[in-house]
Amino acid sequence: MKIKDIGGEFALIRRIKNKNKIFSKDVAVGIGDDAAVLKYDKNSYMLFTTDMLVENDHFSLKYSSPEQIGMKAIEQNASDIAAMGGLPKYAVVSLALPSDIDAEFVDGLYNGINKKAREYKINIVGGNITHSREIVVNVAMLGFAGKKSLVLRSGAKIGDLIFCSGDVGASTAGLELLRQGKSGKSIKRHLEPRCRLDLAGKLAKIGINSMIDVSDGVASEVKHICDESKAGAVIYADRLPISKNTVNDSKKIKKNPIDLALYGGEDFELVFTANKKKLKQLKKYDVKAIGEVVDKKYGIKLVRNGKKSGIESGFDHFRRIRV
Amino acid sequence: MKIKDIGGEFALIRRIKNKNKIFSKDVAVGIGDDAAVLKYDKNSYMLFTTDMLVENDHFSLKYSSPEQIGMKAIEQNASDIAAMGGLPKYAVVSLALPSDIDAEFVDGLYNGINKKAREYKINIVGGNITHSREIVVNVAMLGFAGKKSLVLRSGAKIGDLIFCSGDVGASTAGLELLRQGKSGKSIKRHLEPRCRLDLAGKLAKIGINSMIDVSDGVASEVKHICDESKAGAVIYADRLPISKNTVNDSKKIKKNPIDLALYGGEDFELVFTANKKKLKQLKKYDVKAIGEVVDKKYGIKLVRNGKKSGIESGFDHFRRIRV
């Protein structure tokens, strides 16, 4: 049976999770959040995550410089650590490279990795190199979160407001511009995405209830929070934070910017939920309320142009068009 | 410039290592050993490693079952932890899969991963799945070693004996049998290699000076120990532990078993050095003295058929013939 027939990537992950066995009581959270949560010491948890970039799927050498690929590999993993309320500290890098690749490619890739490692003070402590037809860059990252700062996907409460940081849809708009050979400001958002390590820790301190990073589109992220929190949600499409640049660029590529925000990916912004009482404190930051957590029995609904409908599932790597 | 022109995989790793910056004093050992060594608590270090299996490079679906691929992915990483004198505890798994792959492949792969996780009590705490043309399985693993048990590549002392555990050359003999469509007992050694977690901890307790696992052939492993320890070595080819099965199978494939032991890979045995005084204690175990550590000025020499020569560099993924 094909993976699409069992329901795609997310169904596959559920299948893997159902067979998973944990042997140690030191695992606070295993498969199913942005990073695993491991007991560390009296005051902090250790966070463990991994993410892979594959040529022609996550990047194309037609569009990205080697440096940009290296930067993205670190941002993508750091974003998972940020979404838990943590700070990254260590990483290891696995490369698979075609045998005829230039050494300069690897130099550029590592320039990007090292640039981001410097910015976030991440220690690159190991890795390995092997051979493949297409370039593969895998990063595994360790981070730490104070016990009071840890935020899970599973903590959303009925009545919480759902927030989104920054603006979303830009990365997918940029990718689509590249594919169509057009120019626009969103392109840089696709090639050089930035995670929200600058913001996540501040949100965690305020005391939010759940959080996830936007790697697969807002719809998908809200669904993950609802699944893990056993809750439902209402998202208001007209509340989604979409920049003027993204709106302009979406006209060029003939896409609805709301679709890009809901079903695009790789914005690496934060979706989180918090009690309504936190609204005033949260207003100081670059975040916007986009919906509300409701009882599970109501499912996940999208209000768009005054009409309420069920939400499509988000971005799925097995449905992705290769660049 | 191509990677082979700068000196291959190991030269590339040196190039990466030279640009590497460490920001934390908690990194005891970074790039350049089987695993990174990170400060953990008063009595123990944390070990962090990663390794990747790529279809048609490390395995072929013609030869390996999905379960065997999963098993090998865990063994390969556990072997790195073993070679440091540690025990594995946590792992995350990244998969890249062709979009038309059967869900049953993933079930089988995870059966293999879970089988080994159970055997070694490793908690599989996360991962991710994405899309690629060829199957890629990346594992990142965390382990722990008591401060007294930690063994590095860099600890070899002039006058140390060089030892090798178990027997070597079998995995490459098995791969070659498969390629040539022949049968033999070495095939299982290639498809289902086992790391030496059963032995490494005991060796570490005895007080050995340096250790590495045999992933790239004995010659290459001795070279790594010498490079990191700033030493030279003499290896006696006739002392290499090679099983009768490997000798038999090497006749079928028309290879010299000593070449398989020296320049083959993926045996996941241990090469280590220890003071001569430890010989008696070490004799209780499944290990054999194969040479001696000498001053760096003598280089690394191989004594074979009474003749002394320089040693070829070991296995290099950029010289590997794709299966």
Q: What is the CATH number of the domain that holds A174?
A: 3.90.650.10
Q: What is the spatial distance between Cα A243 and Cα A246, in angstroms, rounded to a whole number?
A: 5
A52–chain B nearest CA distance, Å: 7
Q: Domain check: are A198 and A220 in the same one?
A: yes
| Domain final residue pick, A146, A175, A194 | A146
Q: Looking at the complex, does the CB of residue B60 fall below 8 Å from at least one CB of chain A?
A: no
Tell me: the pLDDT tens digits for B242-289? Answer: 999 999 999 999 999 999 999 998 999 999 999 999 999 999 999 999
| Domain final residue pick, B84, B117, B146 | B146
Q: What is the spatial distance between Cα B163 and Cα B279, in angstroms, rounded to a whole number?
A: 10
pLDDT at A51 over 70: yes
Residue A318 lies in a domain: no
Which residues lie closer than 8 Å to B283 by C-beta, 6 or more apart? none
Q: How far is CA A169 from the centre of its chain?
A: 12
Chain B residue with CA closest to A127: the answer is B50
A128 contacts on B by Cβ (under 8 Å) = 50-52
Place A201 in a pLDDT band, splitting at 50, 70 and 90: very high
Q: What is the spatial distance between Cα B157 and Cα B232, in angstroms, rounded to a whole number?
A: 10
Q: Domain check: are A289 and A258 in the same one?
A: yes
Residue A6 lies in a domain: no
H helices of chain A, in order, are 3-6, 9-19, 66-82, 103-120, 170-179, 186-191, 197-206, 218-229, 244-252, 257-263, 279-282
pLDDT at B313: 54
Per the structure, the complete domain to which residue B265 belongs is given by 153-310
Q: Domain check: are A142 and A157 in the same one?
A: no
Q: Domain check: are B277 and B246 in the same one?
A: yes
A31 contacts on B by Cβ (under 8 Å) = 124-127
Residue A14 lies in a domain: no
Q: Domain check: are A132 and A159 in the same one?
A: no
Q: Choose from B33, B50, B153 for mutation: most chain A CBs within 10 A.
A: B50
Is B52 close to A114, i.e. CB distance below 8 A? no
Residue B183 lies in a domain: yes
Residue A283 lies in a domain: yes
Q: CB of B151 within 8 A of CB of B222?
A: no
CA distances from A169 to A58, A138, A179, A219, A259 (A): 16, 25, 16, 11, 8
pLDDT at A16 over 80: yes
Residue B18 lies in a domain: no
A19 contacts on B by Cβ (under 8 Å) = 110, 114
Q: CB of B34 within 8 A of CB of B86?
A: no
Residue A136 lies in a domain: yes
Q: Looking at the complex, does the CB of residue B1 fall below 8 Å from at least one CB of chain A?
A: yes
pLDDT at B317: 47
Minimal Cβ distance to A50: which of B49, B100, B127? B127
- Report angle CA B304, B308, B310 to the nearest 5 degrees: 105
Q: Domain check: are A193 and A285 in the same one?
A: yes
Q: What ipTM does this complex have?
A: 0.95
Q: Domain check: are B164 and B96 in the same one?
A: no
Q: What is the spatial distance between Cα B124 and Cα A287, in angstroms, rounded to a whole number?
A: 34
Q: Looking at the complex, does the CB of residue A323 fall below 8 Å from at least one CB of chain B?
A: no
B38 contacts on A by Cβ (under 8 Å) = 90, 125
Describe the crossing of helices B244-252 and B170-179 by its angle, rounded to 10 degrees. 30
Question: What are B12-20's contacts with CB under 8 Å, separation 24+?
Answer: B12/A103, B12/A106, B12/A129, B13/A129, B15/A103, B15/A106, B15/A107, B16/A106, B16/A110, B16/A127, B19/A110, B19/A114, B20/A114, B20/A124
Q: CB of A296 within 8 A of CB of A232?
A: yes
Q: Looking at the complex, does the CB of residue B21 fall below 8 Å from at least one CB of chain A?
A: yes
Bridge partner residues of A307 (DSSP) = A304
Q: Domain check: are B266 and B298 in the same one?
A: yes
Q: Domain check: are B173 and B285 in the same one?
A: yes
Report the side by side order of strands in the sheet with B270-274.
B210-213, B270-274, B161-165, B287-294, B232-236, B300-304, B307-310
Q: How many CB atoms lie within 10 A of CB A181?
A: 6
Q: Choose from B90, B116, B142 for mutation: most chain A CBs within 10 A.
A: B90
SS (H, E, C) chain B: CEHHHHCHHHHHHHHHHHHCCCCCCCEEECECECCEEEECCCCEEEEEEEEEEEECCCECCCCCCHHHHHHHHHHHHHHHHHCCCCEEEEEEEEEEECCCCEHHHHHHHHHHHHHHHHHHCCEEEEEEEEECCCCEEEEEEEEEEECCCCCCHHHCCCCCEEEEECCCCHHHHHHHHHHCCCCCCHHHHHHCCCCCHHHHHHHHHHCCCEEEECCCCHHHHHHHHHHHHCCEEEEEHHHCCCCHHHHHHHHHCCCCHHHHHHHCCCCCCEEEEECHHHHHHHCCCCEEEEEEEECHHHCEEEEECCEEEECCCCCCCCCCCCC
pLDDT at A277 over 50: yes
pLDDT at A4: 83
pLDDT at B312: 66
pLDDT at A316: 52
CATH classification of the domain holding A107: 3.30.1330.10
Place A3 in a pLDDT band, splitting at 50, 70 and 90: confident
CA distances from A93 to A77, A255, B161 (A): 11, 36, 33
Q: Choose from A2, A29, A46, A90 for mutation: most chain B CBs within 10 A.
A: A90
Q: Looking at the complex, does the CB of residue A24 fall below 8 Å from at least one CB of chain B?
A: yes
A131–chain B nearest CA distance, Å: 6
Whose CA is closest to B84, among B206, B211, B253?
B211
B49–chain A nearest CA distance, Å: 7
Q: Domain check: are B279 and B260 in the same one?
A: yes
Describe the crossing of helices A103-120 and A66-82 by its angle, rounded to 10 degrees. 30
Scanning B132-191 for CB atoms below 8 A from A yields 132-134, 136, 138, 140, 142
Per-residue pLDDT of chain B in tens (323 residues, 90 and over written 9):
888 888 888 888 889 999 999 999 999 999 999 999 999 999 999 999 999 999 998 999 999 999 999 999 999 999 999 999 999 999 999 999 998 999 999 999 999 999 999 999 999 999 999 999 999 999 999 999 999 999 999 999 999 999 999 999 999 999 999 999 999 999 999 999 999 999 999 999 999 999 999 999 999 999 999 999 999 999 999 999 999 999 999 999 999 999 999 999 899 999 999 999 999 999 999 999 999 999 999 999 999 998 999 886 544 544 454 44
B238–chain A nearest CA distance, Å: 31
The label of the residue with tokens 């790789």 reads: A266
Q: How many domains does chain B have?
A: 2
pTM (two decimals): 0.95
Is B128 close to A12, i.e. CB distance below 8 A? no
Q: Looking at the complex, does the CB of residue B307 fall below 8 Å from at least one CB of chain A?
A: no
Residue A274 lies in a domain: yes
Q: Domain check: are B193 and B284 in the same one?
A: yes
Q: Looking at the complex, does the CB of residue A84 fall below 8 Å from at least one CB of chain B?
A: no
For the residues of A237-256, what is the DSSP string, one character each?
GGGS---HHHHHHHHHTT--
| Domain final residue pick, B146, B165, B193 | B146
Q: Domain check: are A162 and A306 in the same one?
A: yes
